[in-house]
Amino acid sequence: MGGKYDPFGTCRQCGDRILWVKTKAGKNMPVNPELVNYKAVPGGKERIVTPEGVVVAGEKCSVDEAEGCGYISHFATCSRR
């Protein structure tokens, strides 16, 4: 019978724990499981993935400056890529 869905996994490249978030485009994206505060910045260097799957260009910031919270794509931080 069907098991319980687990959104967590392990990166096949580096072995780190990851979280799978479904993007608005319907694709599963591996992200680092720690939430970060962000503010949107047009042309920002970082890509933040919200829990709803929206990818935002911006930068990490303090909670006082934050427009929202989300995750950093694991593609950007994987030590084996």
Q: What is the pTM of this model?
A: 0.85
Summarised one tens digit per residue, pLDDT across range 40-51 is 999 998 999 999
Distance of alpha carbon 57 from alpha carbon 76, whole angstroms: 13
Backbone phi and psi for residue 49, each to the nearest 5 degrees, phi listed first: -105, 120
Can you say whether the dihedral through the CA atoms of 71, 74, 79, 81 is positive or negative? negative
Model confidence at 33: pLDDT above 60: yes
Task: Provide the residue type at 80 as one letter.
Answer: R
Task: Provide the residue type at 22 as one letter.
Answer: K
Coil vs helix vs strand at 27 = coil
In the chain, where the domains are located:
8-76
The distance of Cα 70 from the centroid of its chain, to the nearest Å, equals: 6
